[in-house]
A and B are shown apart, each in its own frame.
Chain A
Amino acid sequence: MDHDNAFGELIQEYIAESLPLAEAVTDAFLALERRWRDGDTDAADAAGLKGTLHTLKGNSAMMGLAPIQLVAHVLEDLTARILADTAARTEAAAALLVEGSGLLADLVQAAANPAALGGAAEEYAGRVRVHLGTAGDPVGQPLRLERRNIERRADAGADASGTIRVDFRRLDTMLEIFGEAMIERSALLEVYRGLTARYGSGPEIADLERAVSALGATMKRLETALMQTRLLPIATVFGRFGRAVRDLARDERKRVRLVTEGDDTRLDKTILDRLGEPLVHLLSNAIVHGVEPEAERVRVGKPPEATVLLRAATLADQVQITVADDGRGLDTDRIVAKARALGLDAPSADREAIHALIFVPGFSTAEQVSTVAGRGVGLDAAAAAIHALGGGIEVASEPGRGTSFTLTLPLTLAIVRSLIVEVDEERYAVPLSHVAETVRLEPGTLHEINSRGVAMWRGSAIHVADGGQLLGTGATRTAPRNYYVVLFAGPRRRGLLVDRLVGHQDVVVKGLDPTLGRPDVVSGATILGDGRVACILDAAGIVALREVA
């Protein structure tokens, strides 16, 4: 059992080590393919790639990952061929190299599940051998290493540059312990307040106050330092897109160059893990709908090759990500026509309001269904994913000049400033990033339409749901609630009636065990100052609910 665990950790370590290498190889071959197509058949920098491929081959052999070893092996052969022979630098060879390095990255990523790896590797290797005219050659057998050696490697996480690789779960453990310390500090604070109330002031009480407040300041610094260790460069996400953009552009018969900026911008891993999908969709959208066909670009005097920009930058405690293209821009006339056809209320003058329509579920301006657009993940899904992270998404567009999506995201989701509310004696944390306002319920301000609560809020009618019903507290009550909290995610709003506002608190977010199901209304849990567990409301989920009384 421990052997299996050690092996599992090793696989994770292998992936962490090898994936960046495989992605670097892919990027380099993509650049090479581009240059060759432009007529520059220099291949000098491929020499360095041979070394990287060799490392990948060795690492994979050590883990007994024969299919990955095989792909790295034939890629090495193919690289050797193009280095040695200028005549071999053909478009077909370049395409094979790009394909193989992409396959390599995919296989490395799936290394934890080696049973599924074999077929594609064999098939690819076969084609490379045919290309090289070496079909029938034996390929190196995977090295068999003794478990003992592998386990020794597992401890060797340190490298010469002074950085160490740490299992992310250890950082979670540290955060867990930090959370306990925060709880203990609030307990101490309670004691201090009690003492002050009982004995008034005095030199010892003053000392205690200094100590308690110094502890608070130190904890804040510890929190910041802890958060810093959890941040990873966004390059780990951006790095995946090079090949995807190339492949999609080729399918669309367009020429597209992907430029990334701010690759070293850092974000919490939990956010990075959920950023890939919305970004893929925005990039696909740019290539499929934004970028014009080459002939059209030439006709309007644009460079035949389109540019798609992916940029990240840190702004205070937020990260801004831009996905921009130099394509044709959003067609406002068509958006309005489509909106009317869908029966939506379409403004005719306000360009920004028209642009915002593209985030409405089910909206798409594509004239024909392409492979990507047909997958059913719309811009609305990308927007929902960003909203669920507590972020925002905006679009700006100029006809003929291009379209730019701007995403703003919090740095971390691990510690979240929250409003603590009470509903039927249950306490919940509501992330402040989703709270527009808290309103004291005055008599006569809550109306009932179709047996749903409705209130006027900032000039518009919003649905106000009962917290007890929504959360299923099961309590039967007669007294009215005292407050409602206006939750928002993107453009959606919904009020939630609660009994009491307890206060603000930084809460350490903990995930829910899958045993607890997948509630729509709760996204996690945290431990409050009194040691009790409180669920964290999923504001994005709550505002998106369709049937709520």
Chain B
Amino acid sequence: MARHSKAPVVAAAPSVFEFADQVAAQEAAAVAPAPVGTLHLITFRLDGEEFGLPVETVREVIRVGDITRVPQAPRHIRGVTNLRGRILPVVEIRTRLGLAPLVPRSTARIIVTDVRGRVLGLLVDSVAQVQKVPADRLVAAPDEVKSAHTTYLTGVVHMDARLIILLDLALALDASASPT
């Protein structure tokens, strides 16, 4: 069993999560306007587009095993899976972005994110790499992207011909907030 570097969240009181949510929201809000040094991004694909998450928020990337559906769960929750004895909620980030649910292929992965001890899995089409990005490449999203994606990105990075969209983790965290 791998060492958990953070305190487990299994039976903590809801108030802790509310706290985590607040903190996550603050953190997410603070990501974009502070371009200092180098960003380390984990990049992954959703329906052909390339997305990135700061490496500090990612605990690990795992293969997709059995995912158990949870009755009455919010729409953007795919289910739960066994992460070495811990029950990991798996967020269907694609439907959150207005895409069709993922039909998992062998390239599909679950990105295990950890925001202040709150651990969630994001189901993605595939994971590319860890990408070092000079922070000054991070810019506010161009208007045409913004209008379509404004609710889930914190910025975009131009690398050569690539465009990496920085995903807003708060989006995953409040997947339960809009069950419609």
Contacts and interface: CB of A to CB of B under 8 A. Distances in A.
Do these two chains interact?
yes
Contact of B87 (A426, A521, A533): A533
A426 B1 CA distance: 27
Nearest to B75: A517
B10 interface: yes
A534 B70 CA distance: 9
Given A172-B8, A180-B85, A270-B11, A513 B73 contact: no
Interface stretch (B31-39, B103-111, B142-150, B172-180): B172-180
B91 interface: yes
Contacts of B14: 514
A179 interface: yes
A185 interface: no
Interface stretch (A235-243, A490-498, A524-532): A524-532
Nearest to A181: B85
Contacts of A173: 4, 8, 10
A206 B87 CA distance: 36
A470 B71 CA distance: 9
Contact of B1 (A172, A180, A534, A535): A180
B74 interface: yes
Contacts of A169: 7-8, 10-12
Chain B at the A interface: SS class: loop
Contacts of A179: 85
Interface string A30-56: 000000000000000000000000000
Q: How large is the interface on A (under 10, 10 to 19, 20 to 34, 35 or more residues)?
A: 35 or more
Q: How large is the interface on B (under 10, 10 to 19, 20 to 34, 35 or more residues)?
A: 35 or more
Chain A at the B interface: SS class: mixed
A115 interface: no
Contacts of B73: 516-517, 519
A168 B79 CA distance: 27
Interface of A: 1, 5, 168-169, 172-173, 176-177, 179-180, 183, 270, 426, 470-473, 510-517, 519-522, 525, 527, 531-535
Given A177-B85, A426-B69, A517-B77, 7 more contacts: A5-B7, A173-B4, A180-B1, A511-B10, A515-B74, A515-B173, A516-B89
Interface of B: 1, 4, 7-12, 14, 17, 65-66, 68-74, 77, 79-82, 84-87, 89, 91, 116, 118, 120, 173, 175-176, 179
